[in-house]
Amino acid sequence: MPRSIEANEKIKQERRERILTGALELFVRNGLSGTKITDVAQKTKMSNGLVYHYFSSKEEIFIELIRVAFERMIEACKALESAKLDPHVKIKYAIDELAKTIRSNPNACLYHVLIAQAATCDNIPDKAKELIAANRAKPYEVITGIISRGQKLKTIREGSAKDLAFFFWNTVNGLATHQAMYGKSAQSPHLEPIYHMYFQDGE
């Protein structure tokens, strides 16, 4: 019965997805240790045991989420890096796109918050720490690089490019956290104040 093997594989993937999506929201709201397997099971309408059929432990779910979060983040960074845009346009584009994604894609939003939170936590699996250590710098480097180039061209304000990159990601984290907390009901802040950090007036 080759047909059913294929179908099973599909179910398997769908189940894993459901667990990951449900756990993501719970981890963001309650943290790793604050989330019980029972919570994940309830949220995904599965039994306790079934969750363990797809993941060998709660931590494994967490690690997988962190892995995917960085995978997407790094991918987006690379796309941004290689885009054919002037640096100052690129920065504005990055802000706008990230804000748009955060507002329209709850899942992507939660991934941002997960990374932000995980980076400040001590009691997460070693594997997750390794992933964070290995990937954390990349987004900062990309933004720092773009800003530096813009500064050489005088289209981005002078000042420490690293600091500007820090505030860039801090803004993104803040928007994501805000959106994750208040959801659609929240009025999303306008981004003009952020532009002013990077660009002269009239840009």
Partner DNA sequence: GTCTATATCCAGATAGAC
Partner DNA sequence: GTCTATCTGGATATAGAC
Residues that bind a copy of itself (CB under 8 A): 28-34, 113, 117, 119-123, 157, 159-160, 162-164, 166-167, 170-171, 173-174, 177-178, 180-181, 187, 189-190, 192-194, 196-198, 200-201
Q: How far apart are CA 69 and CA 155, in angstroms?
A: 32
* Tokens 């959106």, located at residue: 179
Q: In the structure encoding, which two tokens stand for residue 181, read together? A: 């907390």
Which CA distances in Å does 127 have to 15, 54, 78, 113, 132? 23, 19, 24, 19, 9
Identify what 46 binds: DNA, a copy of itself, none; CB under 5 to 8 Å per kind: DNA
Q: How far apart are CA 41 and CA 172, in angstroms?
A: 31
Q: How far is the CB of 176 from DNA (least distance, A)?
A: 25
Q: Identify the DSSP state of 184.
A: G
Q: Which of residues 43-102 bind DNA (CB under 7 A)?
A: 46-50, 52-53, 56-59
Of 52 and 166, CB closest to a copy of itself: 166
Q: What is the three-class DSSP state of 91?
A: helix
Give the interface segment with DNA, choosing from 31-39, 97-105, 110-118, 193-201 (CB under 7 A). 31-39
Count residues near DNA (CB under 7 A). 19
Residues near DNA, by CB under 7 A? 8, 11-12, 15, 35-38, 46-50, 52-53, 56-59
